[in-house]
Amino acid sequence: MAAALAPTQPLLLECCACRTWAAAVAACGPYSSVDALINAAREAWWHQTPVTGWLEAFAAHPKIGDLEGLRKKYGGTFGELSRSEQAAAGGAPEAVLQELAEWNARYEARFGHIFIVCASGKSAEEMLAIIKSR
């Protein structure tokens, strides 16, 4: 039988920097499985987290393609998670990274928060195409 999973708020905040969400997920533990934890995390995000919590999480998230910003803003585990998610952008041409930064600024000016996308496995060029399509 698998051990119960009891994530702490600080550990959850490394995954998603929303205090309301982290408190809700931690309060419902321990969990019998990873699937139970994921289901509770989804439930908390979609049904217990106010829009202000979403904006809190977005504000703490690194901008796509801003590798220097990742190094400056995040140390420790969360930074490692973010850097590994955006690893494909690390080898991108400077012109592509500059264009990503320009489109990130446009997106933030228009919507009031940074552009968020699951970057895992995507090249900088793919992320640029996605932000342009939004």
Query: Annotated catalytic sites, by residue?
Result: 61
Alpha helices in the chain (DSSP H): 9-15, 19-27, 34-47, 51-60, 67-73, 76-85, 94-111, 124-133
From the number of C-beta atoms within 10 Å of its C-beta (0-12, 13-18, 19+), residue 73 rates as middle
DSSP at 120: T
Kindly report the backbone phi and psi dihedral angles of residue 5, in degrees, each rounded to the nearest multiple of 5, phi listed first. Answer: -95, 125
Task: Count other C-beta atoms under 10 Å from residue 110's C-beta.
Answer: 10
**How far apart (Å, rounded) are the C-alpha atoms in residues 108 and 114?**
5
CA nearest to 82, candidates 14, 13, 6, 10? 14
